[in-house]
Chains A and B, each alone.
Chain A
Amino acid sequence: MIIVRSRRAALGITLLVSALVTVPVAVPAGAEPMPAAQAADAQESKLLRVGVTQEIDSLNPFISITRTGTDILRTAFDYLTVYSQKDQSPIPSLAESWETSDDKLTWTFHMRDGLKWSDGEPITAKDPAFTYQKMLDDEVARTANGSYVAQWESVEATDDSTLVIKTKVPQSTMLALDIPIVPEHVWSKVSDIGAEPQYPMVGSGPYTITEFKEAQFAKMKANPNYWRGAPKIDDLHFIYYRNADAAVTALQSGQVDLINRLTPTQFDALKSDPNIATNNAQNRRFNEILINPGAATNDDKPIGSGNPALKDIKLRQAIATAIDSKTLVDKVWGGYAEEAAGYIPPVFADYAWTPPDDVKRTFDLDEANRMLDEAGYKKGADGVRQDKQGKPLNLRLLAHAENVVDENAGPFVVGWLKEIGLNVTLEPRSDDQVNEDTTRGEFDLAFSGWNANPDPDYVLSLQTCANRPNAQGEGGTPDSFLCDEEYDDLYSQQLQEFDAAKRADLVKQMQERLYEQATMVVFGYDNALEAYRKEAFEGFPLQPAEGGVIMNQQGYWGYYGATPKGEGPVPTFDENGKMTTSGADTDEAADESGSSTGLVLGIVGGVVVLLLVGGLLFARGRRRTAEDRE
């Protein structure tokens, strides 16, 4: 009996296995063909599928802090003011106009008339008042964007179209409130503000969120009530790819239409694909090497283990002179980056600063050597310079172990500094370890970098005295541990300066001061590398309009203006956010030959597997009958 049973079991397992292998291959090959064919369908129903490689933490507008989450929420909820497509300056959005009191403490926003939520209810000043008040009252509601309201006194809707906000101190970011405004009639009924929201979510942006499957996808639908006019596509899906190479394969085979965060290698590979258009865009990130000028807490107690020799500004400036941004741009980013200038990346043209010739340090190892000789750092017998106490200058360079930039740039930096007589050891650590070590001042040199925002306040604040940690190593996000009176003075001046041109001037002065102090060396701004299927999409509005990005914009222009193939030129939006249809109509004939390849291969693959399994079963059957005959 046992034997008979086991034979049946064996047959069962075989059948089960064959079924499992066959079904997935065979059925999609026949009934629901291949991704490339799906792309053609997508074109008809006007669906844009965006591949994202960063996780979405939550789509609760009060909670979400990840880049993709913010991206989606920016597309779902409009703001009082929004950053323009052209040059990322604040322009009117839900608020039509505004004025400030003379002491800059009272802001009055006038709401646009006739605005509607996606469910048809009117949008009034009561909605932003509710949203902001909620953040003032409830600490959970402050999770994502609490910093904007930290210095607010009160917020009030005096009537349906007027919103009055009073702040405790003048706040320069009042036209850049990156806070999604939620509908009061929905959210006033929510008891737990931190809980996962209900879908579909009532919104005011060009799309509304209809479904969210964490770690899989988020779906959005065009909002017919959107006040700037409905978008050209019907559906917008964000699909999560943990693995960037898988996202690239998905783009090539038409499973997604748009991806970003490509590496130079991936980008170059996609360039030669006839179905794909690439976008090499200016990004908002700067990369830097920190030089520890003597780390201290915010009450000036020295911390950490930085080499005391680096307190000498001459030594720091010599190090800065010995780092060649051009080589790093070419070798580390394959040319997809911009050479170093000031602290604020060039994409923010209003604030970016380029060192004038009399201040500019050009890469020159001889000059760096001369500077060190002059400053009295003598070379020892082994060619390593000695500090003033006669100890050899050994420095550690902290690097992020999983970061390609650090990994590739490290050896160059070590090599250059060796040329000027500094013995540098590269120390790769995990990201968290690097963060902890730099926060505690346990470094000599370290790789770092930040994403700047249209409003430069945050990245500027990183270099202030107040941003150093307290004695417990908490309460601050120190970067280079600079604590410079002149810089701090300029910082508080720019914070209270409401004249754009004057503020930009102050910001540039701050960058010059940073450059001179050389507590960090900016060595390049890497570009954002994006790609989309040009057989399915005409293109997308970029932000800024010249050389900007499609995804991760400061606003929603890229997704809002997505233009399917054959639907005319890609729109641009003027300084009032009005759609103007300029731009060339790229009427290239889409190359369709590639799209059927997948289908054919799929069918062939399915048939082969079927034949194989069939053959196996047949062979088994024959053997079994032979056995039974025996």
Chain B
Amino acid sequence: MSDILTPTEDALAEAPPPTRGGGAVRYVLMKVGGGLISLALVVVLGFLLFRVLPGDVIQTMFRGRPATPEAMAELRTQLGLDKPLFQQFLDYVWRLLHGDLGESYVYRVPVLQKIGERLWPTLLLVGVATTIAVALGLWLGTRSAWQRGSRFDRVSTGVALALWSTPTFWLGMLLLGATSGLFPTAGLVNSDTPPDFFSQAVDIAHHMVLPTITLVAVIYAQYQLVMRSSLLEEMGADYLTTARAKGLRDDLVRRRHAVPNALLPTVTLVFLHLGFVIAGAVTVETVFSWPGLGLLTYDALRIRDLPLLQGTFVVLAGAVIFMNVLADLLYRVLDPRVRAS
């Protein structure tokens, strides 16, 4: 559990000393600046990481089909892979600064366009799954903390932990087998669904059921456990005794007093993890052939499409960084203690 709580603790620890006026601006600038530095590191790492992978890209692309050495050399020049590594890096950064992520080797379209096509299915899946997971996690976490040690607490915490430690692909495969035929097993829409909006929407929803359930099952535990532990911390607090002394019903004490105070770490966690969830959807997207960013990354890795790999890497890592910065900033807004500790 402690690893889940660390980001919040870090956020607390990093909270600036109380200053007046310029404090807020400096805080924001610091956080944004930190994010930008991380992003720059990601860019460098993304370039190097995929180049230390074994095997020659051109050789891989031509494997198994007739090719003359001239044709291979031609393609090498065409893709700029004949230049020195440093020159390639400079080109890559220069293009990146102009918002150009290069062109995919395999699909022969701009990487940005490809990522744009694949972004919305991922956002849809991750958005819905996270919403459900957060709602479910908070509800279960609150209940189990309030009835600590009860059977409900033991069972729900146990189930959550078990699901959390379940390998995603295995859970997905199990669901596929268990629901055999009830839900589509792959993709976003059927190829023969009529093109009108309603049919498409219903079909997409139908296709979303299994991936969403899988993703929710695997991620809701962290919200539940954090909610549970932060509520437990509040349970002994004096203001709850006061509230009870006022004669408030237990339910109301929980909802009006304990939960709002315990919610803060969880909210931070939601934002911190939003970035990771997008990247974590890779497995779910692979199992259910969901045409999102995760599947794109997976396929790009298999066929060694360097620009596409760099692109998805920067976008996925960028999402984590962005969410981190957002969480830091939001925390300051949400928690008065950070503002004026």
A contacts, CB < 8 Å to B: 2-3, 6-7, 13-14, 16-17, 20-21, 23-25, 27-28, 31-32, 34-36, 38, 42, 47, 49, 55, 57-58, 60, 63, 65, 139-140, 142-143, 146-148, 150, 194-196, 213-217, 219, 235, 237, 239-243, 245-247, 249-250, 252-255, 429-433, 435-437, 439, 450-451, 457-458, 461, 470, 473-477, 597-598, 601-602, 605, 627, 630
A474 and B181: CB pair below 8 A? no
A432 and B185: CB pair below 8 A? no
| Residues of B209-244 whose CB lies within 8 A of A | 209, 212
A433: contacting residue among B55, B66, B260, CB under 8 A: B55
With A217-B191, A252-B180 already in contact, 10 other A-B pairs whose C-beta atoms are closer than 8 Å? A38-B192, A147-B65, A216-B189, A242-B287, A243-B288, A245-B177, A250-B185, A436-B59, A598-B182, A627-B251
Bitwise interface map of B from 57 to 85 toward A, beta carbon under 8 Å scored 1, else 0: 01111111111111111110010000000
A242: contacting residue among B176, B184, B208, B295, CB under 8 A: B295
A24: contacting residue among B75, B187, B209, CB under 8 A: B209
Q: Give 15 pairs: A residue, B residue, CB < 8 Å, sorted on A.
A: A24-B202, A55-B299, A57-B303, A142-B74, A150-B70, A217-B187, A240-B187, A240-B291, A242-B295, A243-B289, A253-B185, A432-B53, A433-B54, A474-B58, A598-B182
A24 to chain B, nearest CB (A): 4
Tell me whether B255 is interfacial, beta carbon within 8 Å: yes
A439 and B59: CB pair below 8 A? yes
CB contact under 8 A between A241 and B289, given known A14-B135, A23-B205, A147-B66: yes
Question: On chain B, which size bracket covers the interface?
Answer: 35 or more
B72 to chain A, nearest CB (A): 6
A477 and B209: CB pair below 8 A? no
CB contact under 8 A between A215 and B71, given known A243-B186, A249-B176, A605-B182: no
> Complex Cα distance A239/B291, Å?
12
Q: Which residues of A contact B187 (CB under 8 A)?
A: 216-217, 239-241
B71 and A35: CB pair below 8 A? no
B181: contacting residue among A215, A252, A450, CB under 8 A: A252
| A-B contacts, CB under 8 A, total | 216
Bitwise interface map of B from 260 to 275 toward A, beta carbon under 8 Å scored 1, else 0: 1000000000000000
B255 and A3: CB pair below 8 A? yes
A215 and B295: CB pair below 8 A? yes
A436 and B108: CB pair below 8 A? no
Residue picked from B108, B189, B249, most chain A C-beta under 10 Å: B108
Q: Which residues of B contact A140 (CB under 8 A)?
A: 78
Q: Which residues of B contact A139 (CB under 8 A)?
A: 74, 78
Tell me whether B314 is interfacial, beta carbon within 8 Å: no
Minimal Cβ-Cβ distance residue in B for A623:
B251
A58 and B108: CB pair below 8 A? yes
CB contact under 8 A between A476 and B251, given known A42-B192, A253-B181: no
> Complex Cα distance A245/B175, Å?
12
Which 7 pairs, one residue from A and one from B, show the smallest C-beta to C-beta distance? A253-B181, A432-B55, A475-B69, A24-B205, A246-B185, A242-B289, A217-B191
Tell me whether B278 is interfacial, beta carbon within 8 Å: no
> Complex Cα distance A2/B261, Å?
12
